[in-house]
Amino acid sequence: MSESISSIPNTRGTGLGPGASSEPARPPILEARRLVKRYRMGRRSLEVLRGVNLVIREGAFLAIRGASGAGKSTLLHLLGGLDVPDEGEILFQGRPLAGLSETALSRFRNRHVGFVFQAYHLLPELDALENVCLPARMARMDPREAERRGRELLARVGLGARMEHKPAELSGGEQQRVAIARALINEPALVLADEPTGNLDSQTGEEILRLLLEIRAERGLTLVMATHDDRVAAHAPAVVELVDGVIRGQVPVQPTGPDLSGVGC
Ligand SMILES: Nc1ncnc2c1ncn2[C@@H]1O[C@H](COP(=O)(O)OP(=O)(O)OP(=O)(O)O)[C@@H](O)[C@H]1O
């Protein structure tokens, strides 16, 4: 690949949201083509993804639904460059991830993708503000600018009074708010959320989901969320199902909802 993917400008949606159906389809931000992923266990090989095809357009909100063990986390890890497929390819803003060096892949993740995990994955020895600022420090952002952004984001997620708290001094919902702020600090175009409400009670889960959706609309983000929970998936205008290692089913259309041309499969 002649051009490193990390040199792609960090473009985001217009902030208008996915728009009305008369709006022309936005360009794909992410494409998966015939993705195959196998895990090797000694002599045995478990084929978890068996040819996943997915086109996700800028500004889309897609839920990937599937039973426990269906391969949702595996797919999100591939889409976000945390792991590599055995076959097939992933294009981010039209450019393949394949062939990127470890360093370039890690730059790609740092600059272009925000991750939100079920178990938050905060560093226990850092306080909320330091956790949020970490990806900015990795991106070599000016420390004062990183702190300014971190404080602003923590205030946005409702934790203005908890900035100096360590993860163990925060509730699960608060930890997930910190993780959301951390995911946003480098202003990624894409947020990948893996069961973001999976460890939370239903009311807190609803609050976290609402927060994610508000922030997505404010910033024109593309959001891809994996869930096994139909009630959570129901919040997404577009839902696909991962069954037997492939994407199944049509993308349902809500007549009054956001544009659904954002997702194809
Ligand atoms: N590193 C690994 N080595 C071997 N097998 C793995 C590995 N990671 C995942 N698997 C297996 O791959 C399958 C898919 O796992 P994955 O975590 O992607 O599913 P999931 O749909 O996210 O499940 P859940 O909803 O329970 O988190 C599972 O059967 C799992 O046991």
Is residue 232 a part of any domain in this protein? Answer: yes
Cβ-based neighbours of 241, under 8 Å, separated by 6 or more: 64, 65, 66, 247, 248, 249
Please tell me the residue having the least CA distance from ligand 1 atom 18: 71
Q: Is the C-beta atom of 135 inside 6 A of ligand 1?
A: no
Q: Is the C-beta atom of 66 inside 6 A of ligand 1?
A: yes
pLDDT score for 25: 82
pLDDT score for 22: 57
Is residue 15 a part of any domain in this protein? Answer: no
- CATH number of the domain to which 146 belongs: 3.40.50.300
Q: What is the Å distance from ligand 1's center to 217 Cα?
A: 31
Is residue 147 a part of any domain in this protein? Answer: yes
Task: Give φ, ψ of 198 to 5 degrees.
Answer: -65, -30
Closest to 118 in 3D by CA, of 15, 197, 21: 197
Is residue 250 a part of any domain in this protein? Answer: yes
pLDDT score for 11: 35
Q: Is the C-beta atom of 184 inside 6 A of ligand 1?
A: no
Q: What is the Å distance from ligand 1's center to 213 Cα?
A: 26
pLDDT score for 24: 73
Please tell me the residue having the least CA distance from ligand 1 atom 31: 69
Q: What is the Å distance from ligand 1's center to 48 Cα?
A: 8
- What is the atom index within ligand 1 of the atom nearest the CA of 77? 18
CA distance 232 to 183: 20
Q: Which residue ranges of the chain lie beneath pLDDT 50?
A: 1-20, 252-265
CA distance 146 to 140: 9
- What is the atom index within ligand 1 of the atom nearest the CA of 118? 27
pTM across the whole model? 0.87
Q: Is the C-beta atom of 261 inside 6 A of ligand 1?
A: no
pLDDT score for 249: 64
Is residue 181 a part of any domain in this protein? Answer: yes
Tell me the residue range of the domain where 40 lies: 28-264
Q: Is the C-beta atom of 72 inside 6 A of ligand 1?
A: yes
> What is the tally of structural domains in the chain?
1
What are the angstrom distances between the C-alpha of 146 and each of 48, 102, 149, 184? 39, 24, 5, 11
Q: What is the Å distance from ligand 1's center to 226 Cα?
A: 13
Q: What is the Å distance from ligand 1's center to 71 Cα?
A: 6
Q: What is the Å distance from ligand 1's center to 228 Cα?
A: 13
- What is the atom index within ligand 1 of the atom nearest the CA of 75? 18
On average, the pLDDT of the chain sits at 87
pLDDT score for 23: 64
Q: Does the ipTM exceed 0.95? A: yes
Is residue 210 a part of any domain in this protein? Answer: yes
Is residue 12 a part of any domain in this protein? Answer: no
Is residue 18 a part of any domain in this protein? Answer: no
